[in-house]
Amino acid sequence: PSEDLAQERKRATFDVQELSYALNGGKEMLDKKHRFAEILAKTTWGDKSRRYFLTREEEYVGGLRAALGIWEKIKSEGLSLEDGALMRSLVDFPGGLELHIGMFIPSIMSQGSKEQQAKWMPLCMGLQIIGTYAQTELGHGTFIRGLETTATYDKQTQEFVIHSPTLTATKWWPGGLGKTATHAIVMARLMVEGPDGRMKDHGPHGFIAQLRDMDTHLPLPGVTIGDIGPKLGFNSVDNGYLSFDHVRIPREDMLMRFSQVTPEGRYVPPPPSNSKASYATMVFVRADIVKNAGSTLARAVTIAVRYAAVRRQTAPAPGERELQNCAATLLPLLAAAYALTFMGDAMMAMYRQFEKDRDRGDFSALPELHALSSGLKAVCTWITADGIEEARRTCGGHGFSRLSGLPTLHQGYVQNVTWEGDNNVMCLQTARYLIKALAGVRSGKAVSGSADYLNAAASELAPGARSPATCDACWEQPDVAGGALRHAAARATAAAAETLLAAGGGRLAFEGKPWNDNTVESIRAAKAHCAYVLHRTFLDSLAALFALDTLERGGGLAALLEDGFVGASQAAALRRCHRQLLAALRPNAVGLVDAFGLPDYLLNSALGREDGDVYRGLLDMAAASPLNATQEGPAWEGVLKPVLAAQPRSRL
């Protein structure tokens, strides 16, 4: 198989190394990635040879050891935070510190007062405490306004009393909460006595609560904590549950940067700029998710494309082992991996630009940025989650083996469609923006940014509008393929606006029954918009393949035909062009995945090895399976022997 892969590499029609440098931020960065991979593979906590064989408890302990190992390395070798992040992505072993690093520290930095930062940051950075972020409850996730946990201010003692009034108020899901975290930022409804002597509910606010005794690591009195049990994936993280029975924390431990409760019990609400700041944070987080979606899909595609190149099954003639159905799955995914990678970079650039604008007091880009990042968070994580599984299935039986790396990759990724804003809910944010923007355009208010094509919605959607495609190859042109995506997006937004208007009795209602009864059309609009934006971020034939594939799969073509924007012969040309693109891209497939520059250490896959020696890889990795610890296996003595040996064996 190794020679097959070498042969494939020769077919590339572009300079793989150049592209690889460009994708990885230069030769130096690429070299560093590979150097780090070598170093990490040799550490006890970074070694991956037994990663697929661990029990849940071993995974949990291993994930923590890895995080602490990296933390230690950063300190002892004085590495940068970027280097640390690179190491974490290579070791690829999430653990009980995820939320400490990803949410607890950032929340203190962004929502804590100067004094709070001075108090808590040294404890955080010195790992004297480990924090998590506890928002979701058993009964309430997406619907944050429904949270039931309360923090009631007690003027007498100047403390907050944190309490879980019901079973459904139990916090559920926070990472690291189960067995690791000593502290948590707890989102709870702030209850303060008003001037009229009645308790007033100010809605969810953040509080820093200590959960465990620092010496024994046991839960403090009034605090009930546990692990929520095994999950689809992500099992090295101890997601936990937590309930409070009237637990008191000092007044100073409410996060006080934006809203406060004074010692005498007066509530100071946050300034309006607060919500803008938190939107900005979300944009950043989502840009990161998009970037990550690209690199994760790149991993899956690297494995599957390399394996497809060596899977011969002793085909009678060499040409006969090319299967159109496998290529038709893998090449569009390869295009998508590039699209997502570029989109992540583009979003980061938009975010940086926004930061500059903001420092000049200009927040005007924020609504668009927020809407766009919401929809892209959803669309990109869907593409990646589903794409890993599609890629896995092209590997046949061996894709079902954990040694291929693909099952674990999928199981550790798919929660991205749910957390950080459920994807459907994210799409609805984008849809709300789009529908409002279209309504604005129709009443004479122009829109700028990624939805600016809506300014021309009237002509775009006029009965006579037609795609300019006049030949098969026309569909490779960015303006034709992109134009079709644009038309599909404009049309979807208009359709969603129309059903919403009808449901609201002539009024655009953005909540309640009319809104909830029309989420399907709205989500469709957000998806179509994001597909168009994704297509705009990258060039050449990969982009065309991405566009045509999106139109063919997503029902976009049906919409264009229904509109008369595309006629029957244009649609037929589109499909022929799609097939021609697949054939044209085929020789570059291995080169394009090689260009991602993913070390074998990261892939941890018998099928995706750079050298193509997949069958040797499967055998070697399987030999270490715990079931192989003995020849006769763990059921022999207690279970099988009594049965098999019960009868006379003379006849055998």
Ligand X SMILES: Cc1cc2nc3c(=O)[nH]c(=O)nc-3n(C[C@H](O)[C@H](O)[C@H](O)COP(=O)(O)OP(=O)(O)OC[C@H]3O[C@@H](n4cnc5c(N)ncnc54)[C@H](O)[C@@H]3O)c2cc1C
Please select the residue that binds ligand X; options are 259, 381, 394, 605, rule is CB under 6 A: 394
Please select the residue that binds ligand X; options are 71, 104, 234, 596, rule is CB under 6 A: 234
The answer to the question of residue 396 lying near ligand X (CB under 6 A) is yes
Query: Which of the stretches 61-69, 167-175, 437-445, 542-550 binds ligand X when contact is defined by CB under 6 A?
Result: 167-175
DSSP 327-393: HHHHHHHHHHHHHHHHHHHHHHHHHHHHHHHHHTT--TTHHHHHHHHHHHHHHHHHHHHHHHHHHHH
Q: Measured at the alpha carbon of residue 129, what is the angle toward residues 123 and 132, in degrees to the nearest 5? A: 115
- Determine the 3-state secondary structure of 189 from DSSP: strand
C-beta of residue 502 within 8 angstroms of C-beta of residue 514: no
Complex with its own copies: residue 23 or 303, whichever CB lies closer = 303
Joined together, the tokens standing for residue 459 give 């002509």
The answer to the question of residue 53 lying near ligand X (CB under 6 A) is no
Q: How far is the CB of 647 from its own copies (least distance, A)?
A: 5
Decide which of ligand X, its own copies, none touches 133; Cβ closer than 5 to 8 Å per partner kind.
Answer: ligand X
Question: Where do the H-state alpha helices sit in 42-55?
Answer: none
C-beta of residue 554 within 8 angstroms of C-beta of residue 531: yes
Catalytic pick from 193, 389, 390, 420?
420
Determine the Cα–Cα distance for residues 467 and 449; give it in Å rounded to an integer: 23
Decide which of ligand X, its own copies, none touches 541; Cβ closer than 5 to 8 Å per partner kind.
Answer: none
How many residues lie near ligand X (CB under 6 A)? 31
C-beta of residue 332 within 8 angstroms of C-beta of residue 339: no
Pairing of the two strands 183-193 and 150-154: parallel
Please indicate whether residue 38 is annotated as part of the active site: no
Please select the residue that binds ligand X; options are 116, 239, 570, 588, rule is CB under 6 A: 239
Please select the residue that binds ligand X; options are 14, 400, 615, 636, rule is CB under 6 A: 400
C-alpha radius of gyration, the chain, whole number: 28
Determine the Cα–Cα distance for residues 585 and 324; give it in Å rounded to an integer: 12
The answer to the question of residue 411 lying near ligand X (CB under 6 A) is no
C-beta of residue 411 within 8 angstroms of C-beta of residue 51: no
Which of left, alpha, beta for 282 (phi over 0: left; psi -120 to 50: alpha)?
alpha
Q: How far is the CB of 596 from ligand X (least distance, A)?
A: 22
Q: How far is the CB of 321 from ligand X (least distance, A)?
A: 9
Joined together, the tokens standing for residue 293 give 């979606």
Q: How far is the CB of 418 from ligand X (least distance, A)?
A: 5
The answer to the question of residue 425 lying near ligand X (CB under 6 A) is yes
With the CA atoms of 523, 527, 533 and 534 taken in that order, what torsion angle do they form, in degrees rounded to the nearest 10? 150
The answer to the question of residue 111 lying near ligand X (CB under 6 A) is no
Q: How far is the CB of 400 from ligand X (least distance, A)?
A: 4
The answer to the question of residue 314 lying near ligand X (CB under 6 A) is no
The answer to the question of residue 51 lying near ligand X (CB under 6 A) is no
H-helix or E-strand spanning residue 72: helix 56-77
Decide which of its own copies, ligand X, none touches 148; Cβ closer than 5 to 8 Å per partner kind.
Answer: its own copies
Complex with its own copies: residue 33 or 183, whichever CB lies closer = 183
Q: How far is the CB of 156 from its own copies (least distance, A)?
A: 24
Query: Which residues lie near ligand X (CB under 6 A)?
Result: 99, 133-136, 141-142, 173-175, 234, 239, 311, 323, 325-326, 393-398, 400, 415, 418-419, 422, 424-425, 428, 519
Tell me which residues are annotated as active site.
420
